[in-house]
């Protein structure tokens, strides 16, 4: 099993659909993150959870709704998205101790296309 697993890897949805992205980490980390990667832009931090509590919402539109039921699982619920939301959504986890604290371990991403 890889450290951070994301499903689905690819998703195509219409603007009126409701879908969810799932992330699972098997590393025993306490923090989990959603990042958005659009073409020709730096990675954008969306949400941070630490011990299941949301500690950061980086002014993300409400059509993106995160859920973190436990420290190992993170969801991103999608509703009435716009075409400009098409991007690669990366989940990551980290442990906030140690020399390289904050080192992010990423999943392979979910490639979202909104039609």
Partner 1 sequence: AQKITQTQPGMFVQEKEAVTLDCTYDTSDQSYGLFWYKQPSSGEMIFLIYQGSYDEQNATEGRYSLNFQKARKSANLVISASQLGDSAMYFCAMREGRGGSNYKLTFGKGTLLTVNP
**Which residues contribute to the site for partner 1 (CB under 8 A)?**
30-31, 40-43, 45, 48, 50-51, 55-56, 88, 90, 92, 94, 96, 99-109, 111
Cβ proximity to partner 1, 78 vs 93, nearer residue: 93
Cβ proximity to partner 1, 29 vs 64, nearer residue: 29
Q: How far is the CB of 8 from partner 1 (least distance, A)?
A: 13
Beta 110-114 vs 10-13: how paired, if at all? parallel
Q: How far is the CB of 108 from partner 1 (least distance, A)?
A: 4
Nearest CA to 47 out of 67, 29, 30 is that of: 67
Per DSSP, the three-state class of 85 is helix
Question: Helix and strand tally (H, E) in the chain?
Answer: 0, 11
């Amino acid at each position: 099993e890889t450290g951070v697993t994301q499903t689905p890897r690819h998703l195509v949805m219409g603007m009126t659909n409701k879908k969810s992205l799932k992330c699972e980490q098997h590393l025993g980390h306490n923090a989990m993150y959603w990042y958005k990667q659009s073409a020709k832009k730096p990675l954008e931090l969306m949400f941070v959870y630490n011990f299941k509590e949301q500690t950061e919402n980086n002014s993300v539109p409400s059509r993106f709704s995160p859920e973190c039921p436990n420290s190992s699982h993170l969801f991103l619920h999608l509703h009435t998205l716009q075409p400009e939301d098409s991007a690669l959504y990366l989940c990551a986890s980290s442990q906030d101790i140690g020399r390289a604290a904050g080192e992010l371990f990423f999943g392979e991403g979910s490639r979202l296309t909104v039609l």
